[in-house]
Amino acid sequence: MAQSPTNILWYCSDQQRWDTIRALGNDKINTPRIDEFLETATAFTHAYSQCPICTPSRSSFLTGMYPSYLRANRNGNGEFPAEGTDRLITRRLRDAGYQCGLAGKLHLTGGYDGYESRTDDGYSFFQWSHSPRRDRATYADYSRWIESKGHDPQEVLKRYDFERYPRPKGDMPQGGFLEPTHSLDNVPPELHQTTWCTEMTLEFLEGAKAEGKPWLMSVNPFDPHECFDAPLEFYRRYDPQDMPAPAYRPEDIAHQDKIAAAGVDFQLEARHPKDWWFPETAASYYAMIELVDEQFGRILDYLDETGQRKNTIVIFMSDHGEMLGDHGLVLKGCRFYEGAVRVPLAISWPGHFEEGLVSDALVELTDIYPTLMEATDQPIPEGTQGQSLTPILTGAVPPHDHRDFVWSEFIDAIGRPDATRAFMYRDRRWKLITYHGNGIGELYDLKADPDEFEDLWSNPQYSAIKADLLSRSFDALVEHMDTGPDRVTPY
């Protein structure tokens, strides 16, 4: 498809829900730069992560394969499987002559305490920072950048020292809500990890421009991942009382308690949203996204100013969502509600892809991989499970025409005692979740119940529909099983 070497800017925020972009219907959030970007892009309103947890999701969209196929199912894994390494798009493009860079998270392996074991991932420019909470333990690249600006990283990141400073509000495993005040602010925008990702990206782009090679740049800020810790400058732009209410009913607590009692993994138990400091946490989350929006815009400005935008594919997306109070839950785990698995996704390539198009097709993040391989004239590896979005992006098919269903999975992803195995099968109307070995599941009619309040799993009136969906889900699972080494002889 490409008539000349094509650059790729791949911007992936962390834990950003699908419904957090103003131009796509949320008038409570400020995302002016993403809104402008969508005028030049195709936006997919029904894009789904293949796991609601970081490492499995990132492994999946960087290879076009499901996590279970790759054996990359867990956060905290010690190594990335060799069969996955060979499929990484950054390695493939590196071998094809691309210069590949990264700023921020990678998270193909465990990133605890400021260290991540790397595989042969193809990145020649590697400015790594998993999260500001942990980076300071080993003085990662972000901390060194803070120091280069004339500041003490320990002082800038002091709010994450929960022994010396007030603990976050809310009992959450990775922090909680750090409400900024004039006397005790969070990290200021000019020293923020999201800003650092932009600075490193601009440094890479300057070098790549000088070398004249095609490039792929992965930009992976930690925000809006919890802690909910927006800088005061952004937090004060939002009135907590003006935040959209979460999808919550009092009956949700009993439903979540039933799932938890069966042993199904999640990071936290269900509570009333106010017990998770809502709506203030939502205001902080929105403010964090607005900072991401601002910094994404800075990179687009650079591409425009240097004349590179016309020959650059730009992707804006997130790896998975955030429950944000829906059904009494925050953070993530083994649940497949829309807030957890549905994410933003928009792709632009001036002169090649449709501009200003909004597609409601069911798409997976695995679909990005074959799309980029086609756009850069690279062969798509045999067995790739993603399905190229090129027909929609080029207007060759109607914008709603892509997949019959999307798939997401959770296989012992977060190190909880149950080591839950679960799968989601979601078509245009129905969503089926099977918690294997736990004797329970969930079934939702998304047409009649888009907020997923009425679980129909045990309703006898829907037994035939459930049976049909279970059969389809099982077929999908078997279809994407690993068939082993290539066949080279008749027998």
The DSSP bridge pattern shows strands 215-220 and 99-104 to be: parallel
In the prediction, which pLDDT does 5 show? 65
The region that residue 335 occupies, defined by phi over 0 for left and psi between -120 and 50 for alpha, beta otherwise, is beta
In the prediction, which pLDDT does 166 show? 86
Q: 10 Å Cβ neighbour count for 459?
A: 12
Alpha helices in 212-330 (DSSP H): 232-235, 251-261, 280-305
DSSP state of 266: B
Q: Which residue has the tokens 């409601």?
A: 360
In the prediction, which pLDDT does 2 show? 55
DSSP 3-state assignment of 254?
helix
DSSP state of 77: -
Share of the chain above pLDDT 70, in %: 99
Query: What is 7-412's CATH number?
Result: 3.40.720.10
Q: Is the peptide bond before 370 cis (omega within 30 degrees of 0)?
A: no
Rounded Cα gap, residues 112 and 135, in angstroms:
9
pTM for this predicted structure: 0.97
The region that residue 420 occupies, defined by phi over 0 for left and psi between -120 and 50 for alpha, beta otherwise, is beta
The answer to whether the beta carbons of residues 199 and 219 sit under 8 Å apart is: no
Q: How many residues does the chain have?
A: 491
Low-confidence ranges of the chain (pLDDT < 50): none
Give the burial class of 423: count Cβ atoms within 10 A of its Cβ; 0-12 exposed, 13-18 middle, 19 or more buried. Answer: buried
The answer to whether the beta carbons of residues 331 and 323 sit under 8 Å apart is: yes
DSSP string, 310-372: GGEEEEEEES----TTGGG--S-BS---HHHHEE-EEEE-TTTS-SSEEEEEEEEGGGHHHHH
Rounded Cα gap, residues 57 and 315, in angstroms:
16
Which positions ≥6 away from 25 have C-beta within 8 Å?
A: 19
Domain ranges of the chain: 7-412
Encode pLDDT of 331-343 as tens digits.
999 999 999 999 9
Encode pLDDT of 21-47 as tens digits.
999 999 999 999 999 999 999 999 999
